[in-house]
A and B are shown apart, each in its own frame.
Chain A
Amino acid sequence: MSTSPLVSAIAKRLRAAGYSDVATPFRVASVSFDFTRVMRGRDGRAHDLVIVIDTATGEMGDTDSVQVRRRIETLSRALDVVGSRLVLTVVLAGASTANDIEALSETCRVLVVEPIGVGLDGVPKDKLARQQLDDRIRLLLPLEIPPRDEGLDVEPAADEALKTKLPNTIDKNFLQVLLNSSRHGEDAVEREMRRVFDDRMKIEDVS
């Protein structure tokens, strides 16, 4: 089990996001695989199989990109063979060459976490480090939609906003006609406006 702080930090973050550790070594199609750290999502991410490679200090050939690629390709092929729907994501913890990443990308999704400020206990040292970590593996994290500002729970569309903005006494028919025509561009607005004017300014039948 690697004790790399970076790997620990990734694992911690993923666990916090609902991932759980997969015991290694594991077997796929009777082939045994062993990695520094393997994690799997749940629910909607149940098909996510995350393999963390410690490119700096890792054992099991993690530091050798060729070996890493071969093992990943083997795993991928094994999963294909058994018709698995698992989707592989390789997180490269530590420095990697672009070539290596590109080569890996042909078989799986690759995320790279360059060395960042992480304490020995696997806790990011500061806010920036925490953000950097999140940014690198964001794809694996749940999408958090920032809370809306106070009072903006319902954001009316442009026309609704316009209706709200205008006083209640506004000529609603006219407004609606204009709003409808606004979809068709300014000429349509002008045309409709003209039509309403012409219609409205019609002289009432005297008889």
Chain B
Amino acid sequence: MTYGHLHSIDLENFRSIRGHVHAPLDAKVVLVHGENGAGKTSLLSAIELALTGQIDALRRADPNYEMQLLHKRKTNGYAEINVSLDHDLARYRADLTEQTISFEERLPVELTEFFVERAYLPQSLLGQLLQIYQEAGSDVDSPLARFVSNLLGLDRLDALEIGLSPLQDLRNVRRVINRWSIVENEISRLKTIIQDQFRTKEPIAEDLAAKRSNLVAIYAALEVEHDEKLPEEAAPTPDEIRIEDENRLAKVTDELRLLASIRRDISDSLDSDTHDIEVKLAEHVENTEEALRIWREAHEDIASDVRLRVEAIFPNVDFATDLVAFRNEAKRLLSAEQNQLNNRVQRARQEAKQLTDAREQLEVANAQLRTIDKEVSAIASNAGALSTIFAEISNFIVDDNCPVCGRDYAELEEGSLREHVHNRALALSSSAERLILLGRSRNDHKDSIDRLVQTIDGLESSQVHMEVLARMDRRAGAITLTLRLLEEVGPRLEDGQQLIEANVAAQRALANVRLRSSRRLAIRENLNDLARSAEISYEGQSDTIEALASRIELTLTKTRDHTSKRVRSWAEARGIIHDIRNSKERISVIDSTIAEYEFQLKDYESALQRGKNLRTEGRRIRNAVDEVRSAIIRREFNDRLNKLWRDLFLRLAPSEEFVPAFRIPQSETRRLQPKLYTPHRDLGDEGAGGTPGAMLSAGNLNTAALTLFVALHLSVSVQLPWLILDDPVQSMDDIHIAHFSSLLRTLSKEHARQVIIAVHDRQLFEYLRLELSPAFADDSLITLELTRSSIRDTQCISNRYSFQEETALRIA
């Protein structure tokens, strides 16, 4: 799509224009003239409104400017503009009422941008331009920065950056975005609730677990197969077992009832005496049996041991079985035998000893006899003669020299020789005496030996053999032992005999009693049947039917108790299962509550997540804003712009030595901090002056502003070929005006821009009308003159000028 000229505009009750105004615009240049307040600005701003849906300059002054657009005291109005578009006309219209403003169509956004930034220079913007030079500041809030920002759309980027800045800090996010805090609070509230629910659920779950373990314990006691984790789900097996238990209980109860009736029969069938007797007798039998059994356990061994011993001692004697009789007989026999044996042994011993003694005496006597014989033989028979000789010799002995041999006796140092001979003579005389005594003793001993030999012979003939003696000794020992045992056992044997007799007597008595009742047998049969059916073992005929009945009753009662306990356990289990179901139900209610809250929580969390995502996006946009702005600044403020600006400026102020220029940003520029300076026209940066405000006159400052706008318009590719200028020459001097009109002509005729310019100065209007008048066949100019007064509607008189061949100049 290529936009051509603005074609025409229709206005009604728009701002200062009252009534309807039609203005053709289909010319290369449109000159609008009118006194101040006649509606020039209204007409130009109507173009902006109809095309873009807004009036940027007014919006800056008053955000609610839209309510001021309708002419005072009018109820509706409109602004409609036709634009040639690809050989056709496009219509843009804004309808106004007191309250609303509506549009049929608008320029695309990017064209709107272009229009606002580079095609339309409203007076306010120019005013801003002029302000630029009065303030030398180059910070972000300086008028120049604001103006350039505005022109380049950087103010939008700034707005984006500042507007999005709360997103940087979460605290600001919470402060600025209400819902963020709401959602965050709601999330924390829901989390608390969910936690509470979990806390509520916990004891129930614990209780449930406890109940389950109870149930498991009960089932274990009942020996029922079950799931350890979900015991309550153990059906149907437990049910079967339970029914079995209940049936068993019913059966046992029936059996007990039957037993009760049998017992009634028993009590009916017997008088109580007989019955009691039988009971007592049976009891007695039992007692005696028991006593006997106890006695036997304690004494049977020793009793039979004694009996065996006795029987061994007297193998030929037949002893009675009666224990007491046995004892007496045995005692008597044993005592007699013991006496006899003792006597015999004693005598045999005495004789043996006598014999030994005699033999010893004999031995001694023989020895003495032999000694006497020996001494007798030793004593010589010449002892008497020799003694006489010695007595004579002794008379010859004077000293120790032997008169017989001459030897000196003194050499022996054994006394004197005399004494020695004397002693020898004495000795020889005593031996004779001794011989007589010996003879006498020999006779005595001979007699004694004879007597002893006689005694020994007698004793040897009556001597008992040692084996026999030993046998007798053993027998005597056994008897003594047996007797002692018998003596010990005696009382027990008496007791045993008594017990046996008592038992026998008791059994006899019982049998007698039992024989008396045949009916009781029948009853017993019944009881036996019952016992069988109740699977009770019934050994021991000694039981009375009462005892049997009692025993059956005991068993049945035990069974009943056991079974009823089981049945109670079943009931308890059912109760627990019921409780478990309740608990589970409660848990499921809580769970579903939790689920519900968690569902809500999820919603909120996902909302928060969306918020976070959006925040990320916002921050990303904000970061991109920085980069884009930096790129735009670098792109726009380049040598090319300066060159263009210089060209335009010098067209309007050819004699100005200093030209305004932007310092080219060297580094990455985040925020726009444009710096203006004035390089020298000829010397460039070498002769650069200060800021334009310091270096340029007021008129040249205006020129600088105006040319900057045009330079910016020209520096980008043309999207809308329109330059709409609202009274841009208010403070220009004549020279500048002449130059300016030339520039407009250049733009219009060489660069195909449709120039629409409003001026209030009549002279200037006339001048421009001349200067901009069609210069070639296809050229065109329209002038619009707006007039208004308080009593009538606005009038717009349009004049179309077409090309006329210039004939004034003639070659002379």
Tell me the residues in window 94-135 of chain A with beta carbons closer than 8 Å to chain B beta carbons.
Answer: 105-106, 108-112, 128, 131-132, 135
For the complex, is B207 an interface residue (Cβ under 8 Å from A)?
no
On chain B, the residues within 8 Å of A144 by CB distance are: 647
Contacting residue for A105 out of B164, B166, B180, B735, CB 8 A:
B735
Contacting residue for A159 out of B109, B611, B614, CB 8 A:
B109
Distance, CA A25 to CA B751, complexed state (A): 34
Contact yes or no, A171 B614, CB < 8 A: yes
The CB with the most chain A CB atoms within 10 A, among B621, B714, B716, is that of B621
Distance, CA A162 to CA B158, complexed state (A): 12
On chain A, the residues within 8 Å of B109 by CB distance are: 159, 179-180
Contact yes or no, B717 A200, CB < 8 A: no
On chain B, the residues within 8 Å of A70 by CB distance are: none
Distance, CA A148 to CA B715, complexed state (A): 8
On chain A, the residues within 8 Å of B627 by CB distance are: 165
Contacting residue for A135 out of B604, B625, B631, B654, CB 8 A:
B654
0/1 per residue, B609-622, Cβ < 8 Å to A?
Answer: 01101100110110
On chain B, the residues within 8 Å of A131 by CB distance are: 682
Contact yes or no, A183 B54, CB < 8 A: yes
Contact yes or no, B614 A174, CB < 8 A: yes
Contact yes or no, B632 A149, CB < 8 A: no
Distance, CA A68 to CA B647, complexed state (A): 29
For the complex, is A12 an interface residue (Cβ under 8 Å from B)?
no
In angstroms, how far is the closest chain A Cβ from the Cβ of B682? Answer: 6
Distance, CA A43 to CA B735, complexed state (A): 24
In angstroms, how far is the closest chain B Cβ from the Cβ of A204? Answer: 6
For the complex, is A74 an interface residue (Cβ under 8 Å from B)?
no
Distance, CA A46 to CA B159, complexed state (A): 48
Distance, CA A206 to CA B190, complexed state (A): 15
Closest residue of chain A to B629 (Cβ to Cβ) is A158
On chain A, the residues within 8 Å of B528 by CB distance are: none
Contact yes or no, B749 A43, CB < 8 A: yes
Closest residue of chain A to B158 (Cβ to Cβ) is A186
Distance, CA A171 to CA B617, complexed state (A): 7
Distance, CA A52 to CA B679, complexed state (A): 29
Contact yes or no, B179 A46, CB < 8 A: no
On chain A, the residues within 8 Å of B163 by CB distance are: 178, 181-182, 185-190, 192-193
Interface size grouping (class) on chain A: 35 or more
Distance, CA A192 to CA B161, complexed state (A): 13
Distance, CA A149 to CA B640, complexed state (A): 9
Distance, CA A157 to CA B632, complexed state (A): 9
The CB with the most chain A CB atoms within 10 A, among B152, B154, B183, is that of B183
Closest residue of chain B to A136 (Cβ to Cβ) is B654
Distance, CA A184 to CA B396, complexed state (A): 198
Contact yes or no, A183 B610, CB < 8 A: no
In angstroms, how far is the closest chain B Cβ from the Cβ of A196? Answer: 7
Contact yes or no, A154 B717, CB < 8 A: yes
For the complex, is B628 an interface residue (Cβ under 8 Å from A)?
yes
The answer to whether residues A182 and B156 also contact, given A166-B620, A166-B621, A187-B163 and a CB cut-off of 8 A, is yes
Closest residue of chain A to B747 (Cβ to Cβ) is A143
Contact yes or no, A138 B153, CB < 8 A: no
The CB with the most chain B CB atoms within 10 A, among A78, A155, A162, is that of A162
On chain A, the residues within 8 Å of B749 by CB distance are: 43-45
Distance, CA A44 to CA B776, complexed state (A): 6
Contact yes or no, B750 A44, CB < 8 A: yes
Secondary structure class of chain B's binding surface, majority of residues? helix
Distance, CA A188 to CA B746, complexed state (A): 41
Closest residue of chain B to A190 (Cβ to Cβ) is B163
Distance, CA A190 to CA B163, complexed state (A): 4
The answer to whether residues A190 and B770 also contact, given A28-B809, A142-B750, A165-B624 and a CB cut-off of 8 A, is no
Distance, CA A166 to CA B114, complexed state (A): 21
Contacting residue for B808 out of A28, A89, A136, A152, CB 8 A:
A28
Tell me the residues in window 508-524 of chain B with beta carbons closer than 8 Å to chain A beta carbons.
Answer: none
0/1 per residue, A72-108, Cβ < 8 Å to B?
Answer: 0000001100111111010000000000000001101
Contact yes or no, B809 A182, CB < 8 A: no
Contact yes or no, A161 B808, CB < 8 A: no
Contact yes or no, A44 B745, CB < 8 A: yes
Distance, CA A111 to CA B631, complexed state (A): 39
The answer to whether residues A26 and B809 also contact, given A109-B742, A139-B654, A166-B621 and a CB cut-off of 8 A, is yes
Distance, CA A165 to CA B631, complexed state (A): 10
Contact yes or no, A128 B682, CB < 8 A: yes
Contact yes or no, A178 B621, CB < 8 A: yes
Distance, CA A105 to CA B180, complexed state (A): 68
The answer to whether residues A84 and B654 also contact, given A109-B738, A128-B682, A184-B63 and a CB cut-off of 8 A, is no
For the complex, is A160 an interface residue (Cβ under 8 Å from B)?
yes
In angstroms, how far is the closest chain A Cβ from the Cβ of B632? Answer: 6
In angstroms, how far is the closest chain B Cβ from the Cβ of A108? Answer: 8
For the complex, is B773 an interface residue (Cβ under 8 Å from A)?
yes
The answer to whether residues A190 and B176 also contact, given A143-B750, A146-B643, A162-B625 and a CB cut-off of 8 A, is yes
In angstroms, how far is the closest chain A Cβ from the Cβ of B163? Answer: 2
For the complex, is B638 an interface residue (Cβ under 8 Å from A)?
yes
The answer to whether residues A138 and B651 also contact, given A106-B734, A157-B113 and a CB cut-off of 8 A, is yes
Contacting residue for B773 out of A24, A29, A47, CB 8 A:
A47
Contact yes or no, A200 B603, CB < 8 A: no
Contact yes or no, B178 A198, CB < 8 A: yes
The answer to whether residues A111 and B811 also contact, given A139-B742, A185-B159, A188-B159 and a CB cut-off of 8 A, is no
For the complex, is B748 an interface residue (Cβ under 8 Å from A)?
yes
On chain A, the residues within 8 Å of B628 by CB distance are: 158, 161-162, 165
Distance, CA A142 to CA B655, complexed state (A): 18
Closest residue of chain B to A84 (Cβ to Cβ) is B808
In angstroms, how far is the closest chain A Cβ from the Cβ of B512? Answer: 98
Closest residue of chain A to B60 (Cβ to Cβ) is A185
Contact yes or no, B734 A43, CB < 8 A: no
0/1 per residue, B728-753, Cβ < 8 Å to A?
Answer: 00000011001100110111111100
For the complex, is B162 an interface residue (Cβ under 8 Å from A)?
yes
The answer to whether residues A153 and B717 also contact, given A26-B809, A184-B63 and a CB cut-off of 8 A, is yes
In angstroms, how far is the closest chain A Cβ from the Cβ of B139? Answer: 17
On chain A, the residues within 8 Å of B176 by CB distance are: 190, 193-194
Contact yes or no, A194 B113, CB < 8 A: no
0/1 per residue, B743-776, Cβ < 8 Å to A?
Answer: 1011111110000000000000000001101011
Contact yes or no, B63 A186, CB < 8 A: no
Closest residue of chain B to A41 (Cβ to Cβ) is B775
Contact yes or no, B157 A152, CB < 8 A: no
For the complex, is A16 an interface residue (Cβ under 8 Å from B)?
no
Tell me the residues in window 584-622 of chain B with beta carbons closer than 8 Å to chain A beta carbons.
Answer: 599-600, 603-604, 607-608, 610-611, 613-614, 617-618, 620-621
In angstroms, how far is the closest chain B Cβ from the Cβ of A25? Answer: 4
For the complex, is B635 an interface residue (Cβ under 8 Å from A)?
yes
Distance, CA A44 to CA B114, complexed state (A): 26
For the complex, is B94 an interface residue (Cβ under 8 Å from A)?
no
Contacting residue for B810 out of A26, A106, A187, A198, CB 8 A:
A26
For the complex, is A32 an interface residue (Cβ under 8 Å from B)?
yes
Distance, CA A204 to CA B697, complexed state (A): 65
For the complex, is B117 an interface residue (Cβ under 8 Å from A)?
yes
In angstroms, how far is the closest chain B Cβ from the Cβ of A184? Answer: 7
Tell me the residues in window 451-468 of chain B with beta carbons closer than 8 Å to chain A beta carbons.
Answer: none
Would you mind naming 24 contact pairs between A and B with Cβ atoms under 8 Å apart? Answer: A23-B811, A26-B811, A47-B771, A49-B809, A87-B771, A135-B650, A139-B651, A143-B743, A148-B640, A149-B638, A158-B113, A158-B632, A162-B624, A171-B613, A179-B160, A182-B159, A183-B54, A188-B159, A189-B162, A193-B164, A197-B614, A200-B611, A201-B180, A203-B600
Closest 7 CB pairs of A and B: A189-B163, A44-B749, A158-B153, A84-B808, A182-B156, A186-B162, A109-B738
Query: Given known contacts A186-B158, A190-B163, what 12 new A-B pairs fall within 8 Å (CB)?
Result: A28-B808, A43-B776, A44-B749, A105-B735, A109-B735, A112-B654, A139-B654, A142-B746, A146-B640, A149-B638, A193-B176, A198-B179
Q: Which residues of A contact B (CB under 8 A)?
A: 22-29, 32-33, 40, 43-47, 49, 78-79, 82-87, 89, 105-106, 108-112, 128, 131-132, 135-140, 142-146, 148-149, 152-162, 165-167, 170-171, 174-175, 178-190, 192-194, 196-198, 200-204, 206
